[in-house]
Structure 1
Amino acid sequence: MALTDILSDRLGFGAAPLGNMFRAIPEDEALATVEAAWDDGIRYFDNAPFYGAGLAEIRMGQALKDKPRDEYVISTKIGRIVLDTIDDGPRDNGEKGDVFAHGRRNTVINDYSADATLRSIEGSLKRLQTDRIDIVWVHDIAQDFYGDEWLAMFEQARTGAFPVLDRLRDEGVIKAWGLGVNRVEAVELLLDLDAPRPDGSLLAGRYTLLDHARALERLMPMVAARGLGIVVGGPYSSGALVGGPNFEYAPASPEILAKVAAIKAIADRHGVSMKAAGLQFSLANPAVVAVIPGASRPGRIAEDRAALDEQVPVAFWRALRDAGLVHPAAPLPGID
């Protein structure tokens, strides 16, 4: 099933902050944030066992348990199994470092096999308090995360997770599947395979105002040629685009901060909010079916909706292009 047939709204909810990403979020604040998203009309919620070792799924399950299940879409991810054992030692989370240092201390293991895929889905169903998952993403198969081991992980998924997800989709157990990654290489490799048959992918941080060249030049044409879709995660680049200190889960470099400042100077001259610039840039690519910014406070939901609806003058986009701050071939709103 095409992602455009599953996702009715181009704005979704990214649940990583519910796993205590970067800070310990009070329980009532986390639940109120999901409620604010629901009240806003958001009906697509993305999650993962990795987010706080199951904490984000538990909180979302609590917040949505009384909502009509047919009225919303849930995606979650496989590739990590959350165990009942407690791990108090340091965790090797690759480039994501200690972003979930405030999450649960349950042991999380990496496993992309067929059996682990089914066990992961079963665990997510329990934590989310639901009877079905609509979309399943295969999580974080990327060189920056696993180093030289990433191809071995991809091969395990190719022979394990991918066929299982193909079968579950064909049997109607799930509606769609693909990769959920923050690097384009794995998606390119998946799309080069004769089988299986993904429905799209979730790409975090790689089609944003701050970083989009490789995805634009290589991945988006492949996606469009196959009639698939991309969900853009992390449209604010870990917060750097909207004034936060982090880019790619770590303190932003001077080069990134300089690029943000240059974009903001143009945005200020044209009366454009940085959130509107970020969301509307990502959505301007026809291969993008939805954006899922994360939110850890209820008020952020209204900001995201306002950013999506904001009237951004075409002159702003032309100024970004003229300044070399976007790829010259990037689709821009209102510009052919």
Structure 2
Amino acid sequence: MGIRQYLKNGPLGFGAAPLGNMFRNIPDDEAEATVRAAWDAGTRFFDTAPFYGAGLSEIRLGKELAKHKRSDYVLSSKVGRLILDDLEEEAQSFGEKGTLFEHGHRNKVVYDYSEEGTVRSIEESLRRLGVSELDFVWIHDVARDFYGDDWVRMFEEAHRGAMVALTRLREQKVIKGWGLGVNRVESCELAIDMTATHPDAFLLAGRYTLLDHDLALQRLMPACEAKKVDIVVGGPYSSGVLAGGKNFEYAPASQEILVKVQKIKALCTKYGIPIKAAALHFSLAHPASAAVIPGASKPDRIHEDHEAMNTAVPEDFWKELRKQKLVSPLAPLPIDKK
């Protein structure tokens, strides 16, 4: 059970959402160079989804991974949405996230958390990726930020459909494991108590970062640690604001967030470390955290991530971060492991 046992090359993975032209139109050669840079830097865990650019991310990622033996890396994708041949004239809008992939493919995206839809989604992902198998499969975005007050009904559809299908595929050893891939903790809290369809891990995006970790820390992380359900931390830079960007939660950051970021940056400058190092090491410090998968669309961002991961962060940095109350007093820090 869990995903960490399969991550032989360390906990730093690659989140391929940007390869679907999230926020901007990325040239093919730049996208391909980014995946190559990740591989050359030692990344062996790659995560994508049909939703990312209506299949574009899977196609681009698969093209580069085809140069390597399938057994040499861990690959995950997601279910819950199907990509149709029908084309949309305008970019589709999805819940609170709006038109994240307005520069991606214009194929119509429809929701489908049924057993049949789950199997079909996996088959289509395999075709787009050009591989024979997926290692882990996440049930994508079955949460309030995409469905509002209707999210519980959608979760129940996934419980009766996708979870049943993925549990069967795991038992048949078609996949190594499954879980939810979400931006909210509530659906994970429901799923972790399931017995007949028990998840192996969760891909939790944006909810265990330097800027946002209280809710996950109080409710989800302890349960995951107790039940040995691994957490893969997605979005460790909080939509980019922790890496020089202006967005937090896919929208312009508030003044409150920007002030907090500046305080963290000031500490990083004082101790001579990149803020990315603080972000990655924080997200991995919790015992439930098995991996962290920042997204990138440029090769130099990959180099920054690996340099940050290999940066030794001084103990006094963590002590001062806690003293200034920039993180929860309950949050495990790397110094707590010593």
Please confirm whether the aligned pair reaches a TM-score higher than 0.5, indicating the same fold.
yes
What's the secondary structure of 2:199's corresponding residue?
Answer: coil
Percent of residue pairs bearing the same amino acid type: 59
What's the secondary structure of 2:148's corresponding residue?
Answer: helix
**Matching residue of 2:258:** 257
Is 1:7 the counterpart of 2:7? The answer is: yes
**Matching residue of 2:178:** 177
Which residue identity is paired with 2:3? Answer: L
**Matching residue of 1:216:** 217
Q: Deviation of residue 79 (structure 1)?
A: 0.4
**Structure 2 residues without counterparts, runs of 5 or longer:** none
CA contact (8 A) 2:202 2:231 kept: yes
CA contact (8 A) 2:233 2:289 kept: yes
What's the secondary structure of 1:165's corresponding residue?
Answer: helix
Which residue identity is paired with 2:117? Answer: A
**Matching residue of 2:101:** 100
CA contact (8 A) 2:97 2:145 kept: no
- What is the aligned-residue RMSD (CA, Å)? 0.9
**Matching residue of 2:308:** 307
CA contact (8 A) 2:82 2:109 kept: yes
Is 1:156 the counterpart of 2:160? The answer is: no
Bigger Cα displacement from structure 2, 294-303 vs 204-213 = 294-303
What's the secondary structure of 2:334's corresponding residue?
Answer: coil
CA contact (8 A) 2:91 2:101 kept: no
* Separation in 2, partners of 1:294, 1:2: 22
Q: Deviation of residue 302 (structure 1)?
A: 1.2
**Matching residue of 1:240:** 241
**Matching residue of 1:120:** 121
CA contact (8 A) 2:91 2:106 kept: no
* Separation in 1, partners of 2:117, 2:285: 37
Q: Deviation of residue 90 (structure 1)?
A: 4.5
* Separation in 2, partners of 1:202, 1:251: 24
* Separation in 1, partners of 2:191, 2:5: 22
Which residue identity is paired with 2:93? Answer: D
**Matching residue of 1:188:** 189
**Structure 1 residues without counterparts, runs of 5 or longer:** none
* Separation in 2, partners of 1:68, 1:199: 25
CA contact (8 A) 1:34 1:60 kept: yes
CA contact (8 A) 1:272 1:312 kept: yes
Q: Deviation of residue 7 (structure 1)?
A: 1.7
Which residue identity is paired with 2:80? Answer: G
CA contact (8 A) 2:143 2:182 kept: yes
What's the secondary structure of 1:301's corresponding residue?
Answer: helix
What's the secondary structure of 2:292's corresponding residue?
Answer: strand
**Matching residue of 1:33:** 34
* Separation in 1, partners of 2:278, 2:206: 15
Please report the TM-score for the alignment, with normalisation by the length of structure 2.
0.98
- The count of residues paired between Structure 1 and Structure 2 equals 336
Which residue identity is paired with 1:196? Answer: T
CA contact (8 A) 1:314 1:335 kept: no
* Separation in 2, partners of 1:335, 1:225: 18
Which residue identity is paired with 1:144? Answer: D
What's the secondary structure of 2:29's corresponding residue?
Answer: helix
* Separation in 1, partners of 2:298, 2:85: 29
Which residue identity is paired with 1:155? Answer: E
Q: Deviation of residue 80 (structure 1)?
A: 0.5
CA contact (8 A) 2:78 2:138 kept: yes
Moved segments of 4+, more than 6 Å? none
Bigger Cα displacement from structure 2, 89-98 vs 206-215 = 89-98
Bigger Cα displacement from structure 2, 189-198 vs 313-322 = 189-198
Q: Deviation of residue 220 (structure 1)?
A: 0.6
Q: Deviation of residue 195 (structure 1)?
A: 2.5
**Matching residue of 2:55:** 54
CA contact (8 A) 1:80 1:111 kept: yes
Which residue identity is paired with 1:40? Answer: A
* Separation in 2, partners of 1:302, 1:144: 32
* Separation in 1, partners of 2:183, 2:138: 12
Please report the TM-score for the alignment, with normalisation by the length of structure 1.
0.98
CA offsets 1:91-142 (integer angstroms, 9 cap, x no match): 2311211221100000000110111001100110000000001100000011
Q: Deviation of residue 192 (structure 1)?
A: 2.0
Which residue identity is paired with 1:124? Answer: S
* Separation in 2, partners of 1:87, 1:69: 34
Which residue identity is paired with 1:100? Answer: F
Q: Deviation of residue 335 (structure 1)?
A: 2.8
* Separation in 2, partners of 1:90, 1:126: 24
Bigger Cα displacement from structure 2, 155-164 vs 86-95 = 86-95
Which residue identity is paired with 1:222? Answer: A
* Separation in 1, partners of 2:241, 2:228: 32
* Separation in 2, partners of 1:98, 1:316: 38
